[in-house]
Amino acid sequence: MLVHKSQSGGGRPLCLVRLYVAVSVTIAANSQICAILNHIFLSYKQNIIFLYPLCDNEFEDYICRYIFYAIGQIFKIRNAMDIENTQHKLDWGKIKINEGKHRDKNVIWLSFIKDFKIIEQIKQMLPAKWSQSKKCWYVFDNRANRFKLGLEDKPIGTELMNSISPVNKTEFEKFLNMLTLKAYSANTVRSYSTEFAQLLQILKNIPVSGLSPQKLQSYFLYCIKVLNLSENTVHSRINAVKFYYEQVLHKDKMFIDIPRPKIPLQLPKALNKREVQKIFEVTQNSKHRLILKLCYGMGLRVSEIINLKIEHIDSERMVVLVKNAKGKKDRMVKLPESVLEELRSYYKEYLPKIYLFEGSGGMPYSIRSVQNVFKLAMNKARIRKRVGIHGLRHSYATHLLETGTDISLIQKLLGHNQIKTTLIYTQIADKQITGIRSPLDNL
């Protein structure tokens, strides 16, 4: 439409440049015009092959491609600015936020005096819906919406919370308060709360504060024999219940006679260098490939890669700050030189604002999404090993050890408290074992 005004070969690139300039100037002036131009751009983007006959040579073809890419980046920046401005402009003092249920779904109610400006701002920021029966706006109660509204994550699900008897709800609140006072991490609070709530769910109307060591031992036997829980899960459940009796009720001798199941000593599951390379090769999406490369290249946990912020990357010193990692510890890791240009290209393409890898609404990329990216890459690479994305971290440590890196430095890079945790990698990176010739080979 706008491009077809010029019919002569020499005027075509100039017309495109004028379109680009017009969009650039208009974009800050009027949101409605911006929306119209955005629609025009998307129409041309979907049918960009229609533009090619207008290009007589490679230079004009390059101009077309570049301008459409540039326009796309402008709209991406503008959309990000609109969302950010909406969050700042919205007068939260006029909005009352309440949690509740609607049609058997957990929702967050947004109550305010009717104001079309507030309605538009809310709809731009959130996937809000109107309830005709309640005469109120609402959003579904999920992590993304709680993040946008500045609400804390729930330690346990609503269904599990509702299953706790009123007799024990006060004790559960005391349990949560003590975890908060001790400043435990969000993951620990979530884990402990879930494990403790499982006990309260089984107890029903029996007060948890009155259980004897014998009753607790019977419960843990039930977890092993009936529920078939793994040794690690039982350990986690014992830790949560132990925290309640020792830290909340101050009963220090409750667990003296309660044994713990022996945890099997398992070696880390690592990939060899060729397998790691194949995973990168089959991952076509630039964002997904960069996530996997940084997990391996810096030995990051999945929770660390999704919480990595742009400000944590120092490209001059070629180091990355891993902030508030496991155990609430910070550490510095080396930024791989081979990934620097790819990192810069990714930033120009995706324009993240706070987190390096962002999902919907500017939230950190979800752990489940990263795990699915790795799983898909493993399937495409036809690697049959049963390894999760944490295997990239194990591979990082193993390959460092195989190339002669000092074990104490690997401990520092991985953020281990004790050297014995890092020493386990010596059992899978031992060149003496791989260099042994089996007697069978000598027959």
The catalytic site residues sit at 301, 326, 390, 393, 416, 425
203: Cβ–Cβ under 8 A, 6 or more apart, which residues?
A: 165, 168, 211
Query: In angstroms, rounded to a whole number, what is the distance separating the alpha carbons of residues 196 and 37?
Result: 55
User: Residues 89, 38: contact at Cβ < 8 Å?
Assistant: no
